[in-house]
Chains A and B, each alone.
Chain A
Amino acid sequence: MSLNDLEIIELYELLDRLVERNLSHEQKRRLEDWLSKSAEARRIYVSFVDMSVSLSSYADESLSVKEEPENRSQIVKFINFIQPWLPMAAVLVVGVYLYSNLSLSSFSGNDPSGVVDQKSSSVPEYQNFYRPDRASPVAVLTKSVGLQWSSNTNNRPELGSALEPGVFEIERGMAQLEFMQGATAILEGPADAELINDNAVSIKLGKLRAHVPKVAIGFSVDLPMGRVVDLGTDFGVAVHPEGSAEVFVYRGKVQYKGVDFEGNEVFNELSAGEAIYLDSFGISTPLDMPSGNFLGTADLAFRSLENAHRRRSAWMKKSKELAADPNTLLYYGFDGHDSWSRVVRDETNRANGAGDGAVIGCNWTEGRWPGKGALEFAQDNDRVCLNLNKSLRQATLVAWVRLNGLGADGAPLVFSKPHLDGAVGWSVNSSGKLVLEVKTSNLIETYESAVAFPPDRLGKWVHLATSFDAEKKWVNHFINGRSFSREKINQANSISLKKGLLGHFQAFPDRNPKLSLRGSIDEFAIFASVWDEGTIRELFEVGRPQGFKPEHHLP
């Protein structure tokens, strides 16, 4: 049976409904009828469904483009598809890239009419298809504290939204904007602002504090009677209802250029620690820097953000040291993976990726800091297959985890196959105790701590470490860098993570064989030595998360 034109049109409509999941029972029967009778319909169906999967694949790829010169077109595409969870670091990377590599002004126009003939254009491909036009986002709303939109505005973007040029009015609270060129601005209401472009904003009312990295030098803030242009700095402005304003410089320099009420030019160059008051006539007067917080909660949030970035940088440095340490047998930092990646990279990078883990089911999510990766285990059978083909008489297991709950069987961290001698299970049991189980020739020995996870620790990032020392016959448990308990070893003389599963119980006795961790892991390591409390404390301190408390985030 071959289909006529009208039937093909109807078939496409049914396939559209199929992929959008709004096919009625009658339409399903109609589709089935065609699929059973027409080879042509089946071929269209198969290719259509396959195209949907390919589109998903390309869509996810478009989000995971790295900073590579040959991928410049995709970099710009990446900006267009910026997502709520997009890390600030990535924005900065893009900002750096755009600043150093792209001349946006050279992009040409695009054809608004569907599929176009690429060959007919004489401009390079990326110029033809990836021109950021006026509708392109200029900033992302990345954080908010107590944010309440002005009743006058219809522009009420959700947290994580990419923002296009336009008015941005808030009644109260704080909004953090990350501009595409790299500047970060915190706006505190009541505020009436307008996003001009990816490196400029205008303030008619309200307070703004900006951090401008070198890549975004030139970030400008229009005030009622002039413009502040950044020269690489941290600065703040406050615009009052009657039109007067203040400019404060915390680091670096800014220039203020404006006009007074008589049309005379007003020019000030301000360095760190300097401030001016601009009255509503545009006349400037030197001002003392405020001794207290400039933006109240926003100022605290700003410092918290800076702190988080500093901590992340320190962790990255430590992370590299750990990966290079010959005592490190396996090290998953969970950072810098593509959202579709099904492999967790072993950062030790030994033996051609033999330590890499295969991700089954889990989703990538945000870790301890904005932009840091983590794996979320949310469903039965979620796991990471890993293999460490070594028998260890001394070892330390370390992980940063956030547990969402403890089921009847507890929360599995890592388990090897239970029938192997030295098979090990590391978990938090249903009572909240950190547990190391080791298979000996006769039985499974259990070494458990006191209660490490009271209810208030669930949902928070916690640093866990357990050392196994068959030489001195001790198992030590550590919580958040501190020794928590120690148990004498009975018979166990080695442990092995051969055929291990991260976040899953494997088939250890008396556990649900499907059950996975409910929570996230954003660092996991195995060391071939017994680490003392000082070393583990250092790992905790370097990796300790900082920043906004989740409960202060508005949805």
Chain B
Amino acid sequence: MSSNLPDRSAELVQLMMKHQRKLLSYIMTLVPSRSDAEDILQEASLTICEKFSDYTSGTNFYSWACQIAYWKVRAARKKYATSKVIFNEEVFEVISQTRVEMEEELDHRHRALSKCLQKLNERDRRMVLIRYESGHNVKAAAQACGRTIQGAYKALTRIRKNLHDCVSLEVSMETP
């Protein structure tokens, strides 16, 4: 185990860069509000920086970081208790378990999503990517695409369903 953080700062940065999306996704599975999840990720990132000397190079960083994130989420549950999107304790635990079981599949799904996005027509892809840009929402996507908000909601529902089905199909073809 290395205990010298300064010599390992490049390693830390590299690992955080590599796993940041997955860590956010892990937290969002447990706390589906994006802004709440980002706050928790920020707190988890601080702890990861502080505890990095405990991490052994070459072992599974994501798994190690998820443990920190898990406890950060647990600690944050009280803070977000009134949120509509905080699940009860039982659901929290079973979802956490399901997430762990699906990690490998989710990697495949992330890659497959790239292919499925390319299969969308230009108008739909533009709509969905604008919606998911940082700081954007359905209203922004509707305005950018010249749609009513109601129309944009419907279109996004259809697009997400198409993408989810497309990804499932791609993954099923990929894994015999």
Contacts and interface: CB of A to CB of B under 8 A. Distances in A.
Contacts of A133: 122
Interface in A9-51: 12-13, 16, 18-21, 23-25, 28, 32, 35-36, 39, 42-51
B68 to A, nearest CB: 14
B132 A56 contact: yes
Contacts of A55: 113, 128-129, 131-132, 163
Contacts of A36: 88, 90-91, 94
A110 B118 CA distance: 12
A358 interface: yes
Interface in B85-113: 85, 87-88, 90-91, 94-95, 98-99, 102, 105-106, 109-110, 113
Most chain A C-beta atoms within 10 Å of own C-beta, residue among B43, B132, B138: B132
B98 A46 contact: yes
Nearest to A119: B119
A5 interface: no
Nearest to B169: A115
Given A16-B156, A361-B42, A28 B109 contact: no
B76 interface: no
A535 interface: no
A49 B91 contact: no
A165 to B, nearest CB: 13
B133 interface: yes
B113 A343 contact: no
A115 B123 CA distance: 11
A135 B146 contact: yes
A532 B110 CA distance: 53
B73 interface: no
A360 B46 contact: yes
B121 A116 contact: yes
B32 A18 contact: yes
Given A53-B25, A117-B119, A63 B133 contact: yes
Contacts of B113: 51, 54-55, 58
Contacts of B157: 12-13, 16
A387 B126 contact: no
B161 A12 contact: yes
Contacts of B137: 20
Contact of B95 (A46, A52, A110): A46
B172 interface: no
Contacts of A114: 120-121, 124, 158-159, 162
Given A58-B113, A130-B122, A162-B144, A50 B20 contact: no
A112 B121 CA distance: 6
Nearest to B32: A18
Interface stretch (A140-148, A349-357, A398-406): A349-357
B130 interface: yes
Interface in B148-176: 153, 156-164, 166-168
Interface size, B (range) = 35 or more
Interface in A231-255: none
B6 interface: yes
B121 A110 contact: yes
Interface string A415-449: 00000000000000000000000000000000000
B9 interface: yes
B134 A111 contact: no
A360 B131 CA distance: 24
Given A18-B85, A113-B121, A353-B10, A59 B130 contact: yes
Contacts of B43: 381
B57 to A, nearest CB: 16
A417 to B, nearest CB: 10
Contact of B106 (A46, A60, A358): A46
B13 interface: yes
Contacts of B99: 46
Contacts of B168: 47
A46 B156 CA distance: 19
B28 interface: yes
A59 B160 contact: no
A116 B118 CA distance: 9
A162 B45 CA distance: 36
B109 A52 contact: no
Contacts of A281: none
Nearest to A23: B84
B80 to A, nearest CB: 13
B132 A52 contact: yes
Given A16-B160, A59-B129, A35 B6 contact: no
Nearest to B106: A50
A83 to B, nearest CB: 7
A517 B42 CA distance: 16
Contact of B46 (A23, A80, A339, A381): A381
B105 to A, nearest CB: 8
Given A47-B109, A115-B119, A129 B13 contact: no
Nearest to B120: A115
Nearest to B24: A53
A55 B138 CA distance: 14
A498 B98 contact: no
B103 to A, nearest CB: 10
A67 interface: no
B131 to A, nearest CB: 8
A499 interface: yes
B118 A52 contact: no
B33 to A, nearest CB: 7
B163 to A, nearest CB: 7
Contacts of A12: 157, 160-161, 164
Contacts of B20: 342
A325 interface: no
Contacts of A60: 133-134
Contacts of B159: 114
B12 interface: yes
Given A356-B13, A381-B43, A47 B95 contact: no
Contacts of B42: 360-361, 379, 381
A342 B118 contact: no
B167 to A, nearest CB: 7
B119 A116 contact: yes
A118 interface: yes
B129 A81 contact: yes
14 contacts: A13-B157, A16-B157, A18-B85, A25-B84, A39-B98, A50-B25, A51-B160, A53-B21, A58-B114, A59-B130, A110-B123, A114-B124, A354-B9, A358-B13
Given A46-B95, A46-B106, 17 more contacts: A21-B85, A45-B29, A46-B29, A51-B109, A52-B28, A52-B132, A55-B129, A56-B132, A62-B129, A114-B158, A114-B159, A115-B166, A116-B121, A129-B118, A353-B13, A360-B42, A499-B5
